Amino acid sequence: MPVVPGGAYQQGPTCFDRMKMGFTIGFCVGMASGALFGGFTALRHGLRGRELVNNVGKVMVQGGGTFGTFMAIGTGIRC
């Protein structure tokens, strides 16, 4: 294990960095759940082709943004 020179301490991530990471993870989870739920719902309603892709894409971005925002807020509260 290398010796750290005197007085130089390694700092952890800032609160804003943690919130960005929480948003990113939440956005990814929301996109995945949006793909699953939005895809099944669109198929159940009989959408095909371009309508299916547009609808699923919209649901994925909405789910990702919503869940990412809540994850960022929750991470900010924990800081």
**Mean pLDDT confidence for 4-33:** 88
Q: What is the pTM of this model?
A: 0.81
pLDDT(3) > 90: no
Q: Which residues contact 56 (CB under 8 A, 6 or more apart)?
A: 34, 35, 38, 39, 42
Domain segments of the chain: what residues? 31-77
Q: Name the more confident of 2 and 13.
A: 13
Give the pLDDT confidence of 20-71 residue by residue, as tens digits.
999 999 999 999 999 999 999 999 999 999 999 999 999 999 999 999 999 9
Q: Which residues contact 42 (CB under 8 A, 6 or more apart)?
A: 51, 52, 55, 56, 59
